Structure formats: structure tokens, C-alpha cells
Amino acid sequence: MATRNAVPPHHHLPTTHNHRVPVTIRAAYQASTIGQNPHEKPSKKAMKLAESLSNMLNLHIETTIQRSLNRSNFNVLSIEEKHDTPTMSPKEDISEKWREIHGCHDWDNLLNPLHPWVRREIVKYGEFAQATYDAFDFDSYSEYCGSCRYNQHKLFNRLGLDKSGYNVTKYIYAMSHVDLPQWLEKSRLVDTWSKDSNWMGFVGVSDDQESSRIGRRDIIVAWRGTVAPSEWYDNMQGQLEPIGQGEAKVEHGFLSIYTSKRDTTRYNKSSASEQVMREVKRLVEFYRKRGEQVSLTITGHSLGGALGLLNAYEAAKNFPGLPISVLSFAAPRVGNIAFRDELYQMGVKTLRVTLKQDVVPKMPGIVFNESIQRFDDIMGTLEWVYTHVGVELKLDVRSSPYLKKGLNLVGFHMLETYLHLVDGYHSSDSGFRVDAKRDVALVNKECDMLVDELRIPHHWYQLANKGLVRNHHGRWVKPKRDPEDVPSPNVEKSSNVLQVEEDYGFGSLFGV
């Protein structure tokens, strides 16, 4: 984790020739001989002592100035100058190293210090996860509350991800049979697009140019999470329940969201599990037939990270030999030790990005978690103990000079906070990196984490006029969505699709 007193990257540390007045040897000598004869010629020994004294004083002055800069207000002019610089570095060709970057050696020697190629990939997938928030209709007055505001063909274009090198191919909808927490509340209106389902993410695939750069055809799945940990914490503390045929168990609420379906719904006649697996299967088969190397990368934040692990488990069961990696942010624990071990045995690689101040990665099982394994010899292996999966990259709010240091549970959990810290992270014993590129203003999209000196409004990300527009009479009204952006129900399953599911066993793994 980075040190606390990092100097803002727009500052340059003072040097001996232009930012301070050095204490000269003669001045140091004069200071050390106060009260003595001023006309007496200094001895070599006295001058040597004076030289040492001047070096000590200069070091003290430089240290004091540096500490003062660390504590001082930001140089607003320097920050404004930063606005004219790119927000990302040029993309490198990683085609020869993609397996290492995606964890074939468990990211050994790549996280501390953080390799720049790994940093770029983490941010790339994190921005896919962030897209599931930015495009989600949270407006409880909207008749489309709980849907994506844009259709899949213009999602990335509307969110500024059109240069990502990926295309969205499928939207994922989910519901739950457990008691619905606030984040699944529907519109306040009676007539809504769906009373049961929510948009939970998307499936995408790299285009030809990006595939050439990264060395394979990459299928992505991005899962949406929750806005605040308190919204689902009390609802998702249920019991562990079996998954698959072995001893693996996962948290009941997460599994319910992933596997629930109902014939009477428009969007969840098939579960999120079935939707995503059907699309992944289609893409894997299509590109393998073309002789291409294919990978599956799953990303998600908070609850999305939990759903991502369930997705990886199912994909590994159904596609042996397919390289699968999970890049999660602020993800809670999902299952027990047997669940973790099965993922390891199937070759799933997981990199968990966590924040020291965020409470969600400590849930569920704040008490009964993997730390209790030290008592295995006495108590035996406990099937009901929650445990994390994979390698951890742990961040610290205190490493960034741009972030407030007070208690802010919502801000600590926000994905934009994580992405800012990843972009600035170099190693556990160094400060916030000087050449961080990502726009710092993004941190305050949905929270109040940036220091006031930056003058970035908090919670600034919203539709103009909160979605209201003037009609032809000049009255402020809720606009109608373009027909292409109105959610469309999933296509009814044909007999051929049902036969494919039966042949491949999709759904049977989870008893749905």
C-alpha cells in the first residue's frame, strides 16, 4: 500500500537550486561561532564542522518544505493544466504475455510493484463493470426503472467506451426469490417495464484489432453490483447452500439472484445463469470454429463480484480447458473452502481488488471466515466457513492525496474510488504515482470523496435536469425513450435452444 503523505503528482519536490535558500557553509560557520572574535580566521576543523552543520540544516529545511507541501492545499493552476493531458497511456501489445497478465502464475511478481500492463488491464475491466452502473436507470419515477438506459449497440458509445476494442453482444437480466432489498425496488409507478427483473450486466467480445493486441479473442462478462453495502448486507447474510455435486457451498442470496427464474415474467423466463451461459457458449463455439484462441474474463463490483465467481464456476464446469479469469472489485466472500478449492482445481484465476477501509470484502462471515482454518486440527474442516478466492491486491485510501481521509463508508465502497487508487498504485511502500492518468473528477460521480480544494461537486453524475425535457409546449416532462432503447423481452426459447441446453447440461448444475 502506498504511503500516506504522498505529494500530489502536480507538484515537484523542492531542489537545492531553485525552491529554497540554501544555508551556506560560511553562514553555518558564523552561526556556530557567535560570541567569538569575528576577525579570527576559521580553522579547517571549524569549517568542516560548519559544512556538516549546513548540510544538516539544508536537509531539515527541505524536509520541512516537503511536509508543508504534503499538508498544503492543492495547486489549482497545476490541476487545471493537467486537464489538457490524455486520460490514458498508449496501448501496448501484450499478445505474448497475456496469460501471465491474466494470472497463469497467480500474478507472481506482477502486483508489488504493480506492472503497468496489469494495471491497464485491471482498469479496462473495471471500466466495463462501472458501465453497468453508469447506464443503469436508478430513477424510481421512471417507467423503466431497473433497466439499462441504452440498447446494447450504443452502450459503449454513450459511455465513452467506444475505443475500448469490445462490442456488447447480450444483456443479462436477473431476479431473486429472496426478500428483495432496496436496490431491487421497482418504480413508484404502477405501470413499469418489469416488476420482477433488473438489468444486471452484459456479455461482450473483443474486436479484431483488440484481439490482435491482447493475443486472443476475449469474451467478457460484466456484472452490476449494489450502490451501497448497507442495502444488501442484512438481506444477504443467509445460510450457505450446496452448489454442484460435491461439498462446495455458496451464500444463498447470491445463488438465488444468479439462478432464479419464473415463467410468468417477461425477462426472466430463463435465469441470469442460463442467459449468460447460452451467450458464452455461442461465442466460444463461433470463434473456436474459426481456429482462434478464446478466453473468458469476468468482472464485477460488490455483488457483481460475487455473481462473477458463480459465473466462473459454472463456465469452468461446462468449458474445460477454456482460460477463465475473474477480476473483481470490493467483492464479498461467496462460498466455503470446498468452493474455493474447486475453483482452484478447475484452473479459474481470480484477482480481487480490495480497499483496506471498505467493509464489504469482509462480508459475509466477519467472524466465521477463512481465518478460523488455523483451528482445523481441533475442529475439523468446517463446511460453513466463508473464504475468499484468489489473489488480493489491497489498496489504501490514505495513499491518494486527492481523497478525504474521514469516515465515508459509501465512498470507500464506490468502484470509481477503487479505479482511482489502482491507477495511482505503484507498490506497497511507495506513494501515489506521479504519472497517474485517469481523470480524478470521476471519483465524485456518486459520492463525496475528493478533497474540497479540487472544487469537484459531489454526486455530479446525473442526467441533465434529472431527466426532464421541455415538450413542444415548453412544459417540463419525462421524455419517452427512443424505441430502440426500450427494453425488449428475451426471445422465447425454441425447441432447438431447449435441446442445446439439455445436451450441454446448462441449468442442471444449479438445479434450475
Residues marked active site are found at 302, 358, 413
Phi and psi angles of residue 33, each rounded to the nearest 5 degrees, phi first: -120, 25
Reported residue count of the chain is 512
Looking up cell 467478457 gives 220
Distance between CA atoms of residues 203 and 31, nearest Å: 72
Distance of CA 295 to the CA centre of its chain: 20
What's the CA gap between 217 and 283, in Å, rounded? Answer: 10
Please tell me the number of Cα atoms within 13 Å of 474 on its side-chain side. 0
* Nine cell digits for residue 206: 473483443
Contact present, 2 and 73 (Cβ < 8 Å): no
**Ramachandran quadrant class, 215 (left: phi over 0; alpha: psi -120 to 50; beta: rest):** left
Secondary structure element (H or E) that encloses residue 57, with its range: helix 44-71
Query: Which residue type occupies 112?
Result: N
Of 444, 449, 450, the C-alpha closest to 462 is: 444
- Show contacts of 239-244: CB within 8 Å, 24+ apart: 239/384, 240/335, 240/336, 240/383, 240/384, 240/386, 243/310, 243/313, 243/335, 243/339, 243/509, 243/510, 244/313, 244/317, 244/342, 244/509
Dihedral sign computed on CA atoms, order 173, 177, 180, 181: negative
Which of 452, 454, 450, 419 is closest to 437 using CA atoms?
A: 419
Q: In this structure, what DSSP letter does residue 85 have?
A: S
**Rounded distance between C-alpha atoms, residue 133 and residue 161, angstroms:** 14
* Segment holding 153, helix H or strand E: none
Cα distances (Å, whole numbers) of residue 144 to 147, 451, 488: 6, 35, 11
> Rounded to whole angstroms, how far apart are CA atoms 264 and 281?
26
Cα(440)–Cα(247) distance, integer angstroms: 45
- CA nearest 47: which of 59, 30, 35? 30
